[in-house]
Homo-oligomer: A and B are copies of this chain.
Amino acid sequence: MKSKILKTTAIAMALSVGVAQAAEYKASTAEGPIKIVNLKTMEAQVQANMEKGAFGYIRGGAEDENNLRSNTTAFDKKYIMPRSLQGIEFSDLNLKTEFLGIKLDTPIIQAPMAAQGLAHQQGEVATAKGMAKAGSIFSLSTYGNKTIKEVADAQPGYPFFFQLYMSKNDAFNEYILSQAKQYGAKGIIMTIDSSVGGYREDDVKNNFQFPLGFANLEAFAKISDDKSKTGKGAGISEIYAQAKQAFTPADIQYVKKMSGLPVIVKGIESPEDADTAIKAGADAIWVSNHGGRQLDSAPATIDVLPAIAKVVNKRVPIVFDSGVRRGSHVFKALASGADVVAIGRPILYGLNLGGAEGVNSVIQHLNKELKINMMLGGAKTVKDIQATHLYTDASFNQ
């Protein structure tokens, strides 16, 4: 590794009154497996390594960050009962599973996140490589710093999803969905929980603006007369403002038809919305509160998952995210109705600290913790986890 920091030429468009941002955004160029004790302590390492505004944007949650915290602490209210006479060999533990026909070496996938160039100079390309190494799947955000083509070329033959933030401009929607199809995306993650940006105070305090452009928006800008902002120098609320806000079931049908790909509707937290989305044709449901970044008064996702799973009733598979930081959290989400579990911020932390290999290290660490939990909880396979009953304090009131 020659140099850890690449000086990008990105110049922040300092729009804020009286506060100029750093002239160049310095992204990490770290490469290599990283030693992880636990995912929580990675955060401080990354903080020491990243510009304040970028770190605030990645780490932050909405308002008082109650939801950001409760997403993780709510897992502690669920107990896994130790089981010891099931006759399981450690070497027989099996994390393999399948999602929408795609074979996965682990039930842990990556949640799509915008602007991964903030974490690493190679951005989404490195993440895609890392997830492929882990035998899992990469998802590219509409607001990524790399194009669909770039990530498709990164790991030829490996599956990836494309996360759509619909635009108010249907020409963009048609353009980007045709790109996704052309370059081989295996499904469209249609995010519906971001009709407006959550009130994230770190971004307000830091007056954060994206220092790097969103490659897909820039590509579209070149071929259209759409005057939309393309990321660089824009604040988050400006980006959200040009995105589509008023989602209805008809939008799900539109995306399905336009893309011809499976549509995973992301940002569901209520049983009602889950049912509506499925009836509108959703091929999978993604239970998420956007990692506590949107509605701070929302319940923790693990708290709402059982009721959603009941309503979904296996009509479509369920992806789960928000707050997952331990192998035990993955276990509990699977045992509460999820089919696969997605990880967000820790992936970017791994990316920042070790590039593609760092991303893989994060997944491998979670796999390791998950396997220990499976062994001690008496579950040999993902299906065994899903059949496991969890306990709460109420279970022990006699």
Does A9 sit at the interface, judged by CB under 8 A? Answer: no
CB <8 Å contact, A38 and B66:
no
1/0 contact trace for A312-327 toward B, CB 8 Å? 0000000000000011
Nearest neighbor of A371 in chain B, beta-carbon distance: B196
| B residues near A273, Cβ cutoff 8 Å | 83-85
Contacts of A297 in B (CB 8 A): 78-80, 328, 331-332, 373, 377
- Choose the segment among A104-112, A118-126, A181-189, A198-206 that binds chain B (4+ C-beta atoms closer than 8 Å): A198-206
Q: Is the CB of B195 within 8 A of A38?
A: no
Please, what's the 1-or-0 string for A159-185, where 1 marks a CB less than 8 Å from any CB in chain B? Answer: 000000000000000000000000000
Contact between A299 and B79, CB atoms less than 8 A apart: yes
The complex places the Cα of A81 from the Cα of B303 at a distance, in Å, of 12
* Chain B residues closer than 8 Å to A34, beta-carbon distance: none
Give the most central of A82, A92, A197, A270: most B CB within 10 Å.
A82
Judged by a CB distance under 8 angstroms, whether A248 is at the interface is yes
Per the bound structure, the CA–CA distance linking A249 and B86 in Å amounts to 9
Closest to A393 in B: B303
In the complex, whether A342 has a CB less than 8 A from a CB of chain B is no
On whether the beta carbons of B276 and A396 are closer than 8 Å, the reply is: no
Complex Cα–Cα for A118 and B38 (A): 27
Tell me if A99 is interfacial: C-beta within 8 Å of chain B: no
- A38 touches which of B63, B85, B326, B331 (Cβ 8 Å): B63
Q: Residue of B at shortest CB range from A195?
A: B375
User: Which residues of chain B come closer than 8 Å to A199, judged between CB atoms?
Assistant: 327, 368-369, 372
CA distance A373 to B297 in the complex (A): 8
Task: Verify A245–B375 contact, CB threshold 8 A.
Answer: yes
Pair A195/B376 contact, Cβ less than 8 Å: yes
Given A199-B372, A204-B37: A298 touches B82 (CB 8 Å cut-off): yes
Provide the residues of chain B in CB contact with A394, threshold 8 Å: 397
Query: Taking the complex as formed, is A98 at the interface, i.e. its CB lies under 8 A from any CB of chain B?
Result: no
Partner of A248 from B87, B268, B306, B368 at Cβ < 8 Å: B87
C-alpha spacing A193/B397, complex, angstroms: 25
Residues of B within 8 A of A83 (CB): 270, 272-273
Binds B, one of A142-150, A219-227, A288-296, A354-362: A288-296
Cα A398 to Cα B296 in complex, Å, equals: 23
Q: Which of A280, A295, A394 has the most CB of B within 10 A?
A: A295
| B63 near A246: Cβ-Cβ < 8 Å | no
Contact A303 B375, beta carbon cutoff 8 Å: no
The reply to whether A295 and B373 form a contact with Cβ atoms under 8 Å apart is: yes
CB–CB B80/A298 < 8 A: yes
Q: Which of B295, B327, B395, B397 contacts A80 (CB 8 A)?
A: B295
Does A31 touch B at the CB level, under 8 Å? no
Question: In whole angstroms, what is the CA distance A327 to B92 when docked?
Answer: 43
A90 adjacent to B398 (CB under 8 Å): no
A264 to chain B, nearest CB (A): 14
Extra A-B contacts (13), CB below 8 Å, given A80-B295, A85-B280, A303-B393? A78-B297, A81-B299, A83-B270, A84-B195, A84-B273, A85-B247, A92-B246, A197-B372, A297-B328, A298-B376, A299-B395, A307-B396, A394-B397
On A, residues with C-beta under 8 Å from B are 37-38, 63-64, 66, 76, 78-90, 92, 192-193, 195-199, 201, 204-205, 241, 245-249, 267-270, 272-273, 276-277, 280, 289, 294-299, 303-304, 306-307, 326-328, 331-332, 368-369, 371-373, 375-377, 391-398
